[in-house]
Copies of this chain bind each other. A is one copy, B any other.
Amino acid sequence: MTTPNTPITVGILGASSYTGCELLRLLSRHDGIQVAFVSSRSYAGTPLSTIFPALRGICDRACITPEDATAAQADCVFSCLPHGVSASYLLPFIERGIRVIDLSADFRLQDAAEYARWYGKDHPAPHLLSTAVYGLVEHFRDRIAGAAIVANPGCYPTGMLLPLLPLAARGGIDTARGPLITDAKSGLSGAGRALKLTSHFVEANESMSAYAAGQRHRHVSEMRRLLGDACAQAGTEMPHFIFTPHLLPVNRGILSTIYVPATIDARTCHHMLEEAYAAQRFIRVRPFGQLPALRDVVYSNYCDIGVTDVPDQDTVIIVSAIDNLTRGASGQAIQNMNCMMGFPEHTALGL
């Protein structure tokens, strides 16, 4: 792996979002890149450091409109735009051969009909769906290196798939029994910066609640696709699974408690994960029986994984912890960019 000699240039669409701010925070440590443009429709003309004073002295550049961005030059473009909008704004870049990393869900599904079902609108570029690579670097590194379009994984899927894909691919999940249950708890930054009552401080603070329970969360479609592919490797069906997200009164982090109907015992399961991730810097499998906490991973690109057993039962409990803004979004996006552009994968992703 060689590092480019001259800095590459990057553009960011939808920079006034929390994921945009996090991208800039991390990119400020990256010696190999230069920011070519940041765009935001609602804040066009406003310096990004006025929107996020934390970025003063780091990115004082004014936001341009997404339309103006279209004509701009860059080696790589990140989109922090919402799903249903993102693909349309990325198309002109893709057509010009500029490599893109989409933090929205627009390129995460491969089936246009399923996209329409979940997102309530037709996909603007269905012909591109099959070329997009799912950006879970530890699993698809080689394809990402050469990809024109990387679909950056959703935050919940990242926390769920990292521990489950190795098990599924090795036949460790008993798909005849079921269901496999993921009870996930996410900090409020996952709900974005748009104002709504559920993100109002007094409503969220000192409270907790489940939402979109019973497979009603859009990330279910993405989980199903990836988990299904992994099961197919093992020649098994996809397990029935249940995903219940909860709002947790913290700024950052997703803790996923996963109940796996396993074909193997918990220690074998733990060993499988240790083996699968032994060479992966950003995945830390804990000693058997030790479970991670959010404080271990916030403001980092790590995914920490713990495994424990339930005496006399064949369910294995796995807990994963990530920072939803870093590993679940912008950190992972930079990890993807490093992989695409030939930088060492961990560049700018230290603690």
User: Interface on A for B, CB 8 Å cutoff?
Assistant: 18, 25-26, 28-29, 53-54, 56-58, 178-179, 181, 183, 185, 188-189, 193, 195-197, 199-211, 213-215, 240, 242, 244, 246, 248-253, 255, 257, 259, 281, 284, 286, 291-300, 302, 304, 308-311, 313, 315, 317, 319, 350-351
Contact = CB atoms under 8 A, between A and B. Distances in A.
A309 B244 CA distance: 11
A110 B291 CA distance: 33
How many protomers of this protein does the assembly include? 4
Contact of A350 (B29, B213, B295, B309): B29
Given A54-B296, A207-B293, A308 B214 contact: yes
A335 to B, nearest CB: 15
Contacts of A317: 210, 213-214, 242, 244
Which of A202, A211, A244 is most buried by chain B, counting CB atoms within 10 A of its CB?
A: A202
30 contacts: A28-B350, A29-B351, A53-B292, A53-B304, A56-B284, A178-B313, A183-B257, A188-B201, A188-B205, A193-B202, A199-B201, A201-B205, A206-B206, A206-B253, A207-B250, A207-B253, A207-B293, A207-B294, A207-B295, A209-B292, A209-B294, A210-B317, A213-B291, A213-B308, A213-B319, A214-B308, A215-B310, A242-B313, A242-B315, A249-B249
